[in-house]
Amino acid sequence: MGLPARDAAGTASKDVQVLSLHMAPEPSTEYEQFPDSLPARGRGLRTYGQLMSTKSSGFQISDRLVHVVALAIFALVLRCSSVSEPYFADSFRHVNAIASGSLILQPPGYFLFNLTGFITSRLLHLSVVHALDAINIFFGVTGVVVFYALCRRLFDVQHAFLLSLVYACSPLAWFASDIQCTYASMTFFAPLLLFLIRGKRSFVLGCFAWAVMTGFRPSDGFFVLPWMLYEAIDVTWSKRLKGSAFAAAGFLLWWIPTAQRFGGGILAPFTHSKGQAARVAKGVLAGHPSFYSLVNFVRGCTGMTIAWGILTPLVVIGIFWLWRDRWVRSLTIWMAPGIGFFLLYYVSDATYFSYCVAPGLVVAGFFFAKLGRKRLQTVVYSMAVACSLLFMFGARPIAPRSPSRALVDAYFVSFSTWALRHQYGPTLQELMGDVEQAAVVDGETKSDNTVAYLVLSRMATLP
């Protein structure tokens, strides 16, 4: 005997309600689309941003757009507030190479960076210096936007935004955008490559991006090569072959012009670079441990501090604590070759770590995602932003009356906005000489520690 029409409809309605309850979305989680980075209890869950999109797709678009615009304006204002005239490292050499039309300097040449400066100068009718400023500020600002896009695929809205603010305020990423050198390009290409290969799973396009990145800073491109090979393990042979073809095409576009300018055959950029590294390196791996090896190690440690700020301990802890997570393991493989080279072989300036800023901060993001303490996360990120701003705007050199002050001025204060405006970049050797003169004038008796520093500074010709 059939049910009345009204009762049948009511029963069907209740069935739909029960079914909808079983299909309701689970609570949000920090992780998003990548099952290899999800804890077992969090797989298949959707983030806050995804839940909001089920209510109003317009809200999600507006939310992301507001964040992107805010981050871009914030990063642009910071970088435009402290643009410097050429003075740091190879700034003058880049300007001269572009002005003369040679487009290369000492190995590895940096042809692609100089070519970009040359084209920008001609197209926008800018001086060479202003063209390089425009390029590096562009890299710095768009790098923050790409970093935010990467974080939105990994963390919730608030987490991604706050971590991107930390990236925008990173003293190293900020400083790199305001000098006429190649380091700022890495603050853009590093998050871009992570986004394409780990985030979007676009391995082929990522291979071409790696080739272009290597053209801007060949050494960093080679440091990332083991990571590229590691990521190639999980893709099909078809994508590997296509990626290799794209990488080879992008690589040859800048390698051949560089080799022609150096002369000596197709391997000229490599052979010249190898000889230069052997001449300057005096780290432990160079085979001659000395006081310089210790200075090199200390400079490398201070460089990581400039890169990650107060989050540096969390980056280190996150690497060991979350090693089993495939994302963290991938980021560690990205950073390990370069950091090992810098600490144990040779590092000239903290800016060498520019390609490690983004992956290191993402590791810190996974640390808080695993910890699950949102309030602590917000407090620490806010403190990181505040400390970076305080350092960049407040750091000033102090007359070096002691070795410790000289080290702080050389390895920390030299990367502040005050240093950019006043073109302040003394070497540790120069500051140690001031310490020695001050001690003589004051009639002080030097301690054994001071003497050790002075001997160290005399033995090591620090760049």
| 17 vs 414, higher pLDDT | 414
Structure confidence by residue, pLDDT tens digits, 265-301: 787 777 767 666 666 666 677 666 777 888 889 999 9
- Of 107-121, 378-392, 439-453, minimum mean pLDDT range: 439-453
Token pair of 94 as six digits: 């880049």
The pLDDT, as a whole number, for residue 212 is 96
The pLDDT, as a whole number, for residue 429 is 67
CA distance 276 to 108: 9
Domain boundaries, the chain: 64-266+276-394, 403-459
Token pair of 383 as six digits: 């403190």
| Measured torsion, CA atoms of residues 412, 218, 199, 357, in degrees rounded to the nearest 10 | 0
209's CB contacts (< 8 A; 6+ apart) are 189, 192, 193, 196
- In this structure, what are the phi and psi dihedrals at residue 197, rounded to the nearest 5 degrees? -90, -45
End-to-end CA distance of the chain: 95
Length of the chain: 463
Confidence of residue 169 (pLDDT cuts 50, 70, 90): very high
Do the Cβ atoms of 179 and 346 come closer than 8 Å?
no
Structure confidence by residue, pLDDT tens digits, 10-45: 544 444 443 343 434 433 344 443 444 444 333 333
